[in-house]
Structure 1
Amino acid sequence: MELGQFDLECMPRTTIKGHALADFLLEFNSAVHDKALVVLHPPPTEESLEEFPHPWWILHVDRAVNNGGAGAGIVLLSPEGHHLMSAIHFKFYAMNNDAEYEALINGLKIALEMGVRNLITKSDSELVVNQVNGGFQARGLQTELYLRCTQRLIGKFKEVRLECVPREKNSNADTLEKMGSQQEAVLLGSIPLEIQEIPSIPEVEVMQVDEAPKETWMTPIISYIHKGALPEDKFKAR
């Protein structure tokens, strides 16, 4: 109230420019001749950079397999809220679990290209999530190869959390993978559509089975089931 007579006006504080420190040093150079205002540090090393906390990114992945083919949808969300979206169309035959692994592998590769260190990955495939987390056992050579490839990529991050979420909470990736499976470039607009020609894992070699089976202990049993034929030996026939 006492200062009201001076007609004071409140002005918002502006950003302090970098040259303000230089002006201060020039103006008071003699007074601070023997005092250091700026502490010089050596350039940071990889070990020192590890001490700084890395922000968490969020990755949504999903897949679709239908008559139009197979595809994957990937949405990478930055800590600032920016979305990086990608749709992938598979030119090769892929079953549901294979396409789910392909979506996860491609999403991890995109995150690595963006320099992500800490990643939360969300997928609606309970089977794949539990296999990667160690809750379920991978059955089949092809599934085991997909699991190894995924674990190798996860090992390149500082920390990765893989979570299973309901499909309705994975809607963005779900829409992209449906477009990618049908290769609908018109609907995608500015979202990039990639074409993946071959799987991310090497093809599994299938052994050829000899068509002429050899005589085994099962041969007389098969003959009896198919033809009703019994062995000549009465004991074996009984």
Structure 2
Amino acid sequence: MLAEPSLQENNPEKVREDFPYPWWILYVDGVVNNNRAGARVVLITSEGHHLMSAIHFKFYITNNDAEYEALINGLKIALEVGVVNLIAQSDSELVVNQVNGGFQSRGPRTELYMRCVQCLLQRFGSARLEGVPREKNGNAEPWKKWACKWTMCC
């Protein structure tokens, strides 16, 4: 006698809804100094693996722009690898508060950056942007050592 197929076998969307997607963490940081500008991105998988990326800007950019660029690129990377639930963390109080609605954006470029981040955050199943102290951003010594080998000295 054959067993009756389960409800889940007949409804693949139901299976997808019931599957708990793990949370990933994204750390971002933009850096501008006298002769260099760049961004650091660390995406931590639900299993604890670190995916690191560094961006070097060869054009004039402000520190706030670098922070936004780091966040935008980090969010795009997370979407590209299929992250569904994300906690993004930045040490830029300005960026975090502008994106979350606590501060107004000033100027058309900042407004575009802010709206881009808000749009990207909406593409996740669940996502939020949190502020973290500078010393806790980047999540660990291996990242700092790797970043310093690149071009951005600590």
Q: TM-score, normalised by structure 2?
A: 0.85
The CA distance in 2 between the partners of 1:106 and 1:177, in whole Å, is 16
Residue 74 of structure 2 aligns with an amino acid whose one-letter code is G
Q: 1:167 to 1:152 in 2, by over 3 A?
A: same
The CA distance in 2 between the partners of 1:137 and 1:51, in whole Å, is 38
In the TM superposition, what whole-angstrom CA distance separates every residue of 1:10-52 from its partner, at most 9, and x where no partner exists? Answer: xxxxxxxxxxxxxxxxxxxxxxxx353x84623613x652342
The CA distance in 2 between the partners of 1:147 and 1:141, in whole Å, is 10
Residue 137 of structure 1 pairs with residue 104 of structure 2: yes
Structure 2 partner of 1:42 = 10
The CA distance in 1 between the partners of 2:138 and 2:82, in whole Å, is 25
Residue 161 of structure 1 aligns with an amino acid whose one-letter code is R
The CA distance in 2 between the partners of 1:177 and 1:143, in whole Å, is 26
Residue 52 of structure 1 pairs with residue 19 of structure 2: yes
Aligned-pair CA distance for 1:133 = 0.4
RMSD over aligned Cα atoms = 2.3
Q: 1:144 to 1:177 in 2, by over 3 A?
A: farther
Q: TM-score, normalised by structure 1?
A: 0.57
The CA distance in 1 between the partners of 2:12 and 2:124, in whole Å, is 20
Residue 73 of structure 2 aligns with an amino acid whose one-letter code is N
The CA distance in 2 between the partners of 1:171 and 1:144, in whole Å, is 26
Structure 1 partner of 2:121 = 154
- Residues 62 and 103, structure 1, Cα contact 8 Å, conserved in 2: yes
Aligned-pair CA distance for 1:68 = 2.8
Aligned residue among 130, 137, 146 for 1:170 = 137
- Residues 121 and 128, structure 2, Cα contact 8 Å, conserved in 1: no
Residue 57 of structure 1 aligns with an amino acid whose one-letter code is W
Q: Identify unmatched segments of 5+ residues in structure 2.
A: none
Structure 2 partner of 1:89 = 56
Structure 1 partner of 2:83 = 116
- Residues 89 and 183, structure 1, Cα contact 8 Å, conserved in 2: no
Give the percent of matched residue pairs that are identical in Structure 1 and Structure 2.
Answer: 64
- Residues 71 and 178, structure 1, Cα contact 8 Å, conserved in 2: no
State the number of aligned residues.
148
The CA distance in 1 between the partners of 2:139 and 2:81, in whole Å, is 20
The CA distance in 2 between the partners of 1:109 and 1:154, in whole Å, is 10
- Residues 72 and 103, structure 1, Cα contact 8 Å, conserved in 2: yes
The CA distance in 2 between the partners of 1:178 and 1:130, in whole Å, is 29
- Structure 1 segments of 4 or more deviating over 4 A? 176-180
